[in-house]
Amino acid sequence: MAISLRLSRGGAKKRPYYRIVAADSRYPRDGRYLEQIGTYNPLLAKDDEKRVQLNEDRAKYWLGVGAQPSDRVARFLDAAGIQERKARNNPNKAEPGEKAKERAEEKAAKEAEAAEALKAAEEAPAEEEAKAEEAPAEEAAAEEAPTEEAPTEDAKEDAGEEKAEG
């Protein structure tokens, strides 16, 4: 006979009240049970000591003979310090898969490259400004130096007319 520690509902409509019972797992939820070992009133405040009342000795007995608690009763037993409840959620289930991890790495690499390019773009104008400041100094030096330019065609024609007149 498989025995379970579970809740059996009582109370009126929308006014639940539960008995914590040891029952054969084949019996209906609100049907026959072997023994009532406590009560649970969800309408009371969470810090109220009458919200969950549990006969610890009888709960330990039924666990000792192999009774399996339901999820909610296991929470009550854990809170009472009778039986430690195993974690039901798999923390690794929330981790992304391999391909999602690869995509995240690629995205991070692209963002790093973009940040480097932006940093280089910010440094480039500073270098150009430094070069621009040096360039006018070179041009000014070139303008100050005397340059001998060859006479243009207009100048040659003017000189030729002067010789013809003279």
Give domain status of residue 51, yes or no.
yes
Give domain status of residue 87, yes or no.
no
Q: Please provide the DSSP assignment of 37-106 as one string.
A: EEEE-TTS-TT-TTSEEE-HHHHHHHHHTT-EE-HHHHHHHHHHTSSPPPP-S-GGGGS--HHHHHHHHH
Give domain status of residue 43, yes or no.
yes
Q: Are residues 70 and 102 in the same domain?
A: no
The Cα diameter of the chain in Å comes to 144
Give domain status of residue 123, yes or no.
yes
Instruction: Encode the chain (166 residues) as per-residue pLDDT tens digits.
Output: 799 999 999 999 999 999 999 999 999 988 899 999 999 999 999 999 999 999 999 999 999 999 999 999 999 999 999 888 877 777 778 788 889 999 999 999 999 999 998 888 887 766 666 666 665 555 655 566 555 555 566 555 555 555 555 5
Give domain status of residue 137, yes or no.
no
99 CB-side CA count, 13 A: 0
Q: Are residues 7 and 57 in the same domain?
A: yes
Taking CA atoms, 78 is separated from 81, 82, 111, in Å, by 5, 6, 47
Q: Which of 72, 66, 27 is nearest to 54 (CA)?
A: 72
- The residue range of the domain holding 110 is 96-127
The CATH code of the domain that includes 48 is 3.30.1320.10
Q: How many CB atoms lie within 10 A of CB 65?
A: 8
Angle at 152 between CA 150 and CA 156, to 5 degrees: 105
The whole-angstrom separation of Cα 150 and Cα 86 is 99
The DSSP 8-state label assigned to residue 25 in this structure reads T
This model's pTM is above 0.95: no
Give domain status of residue 157, yes or no.
no
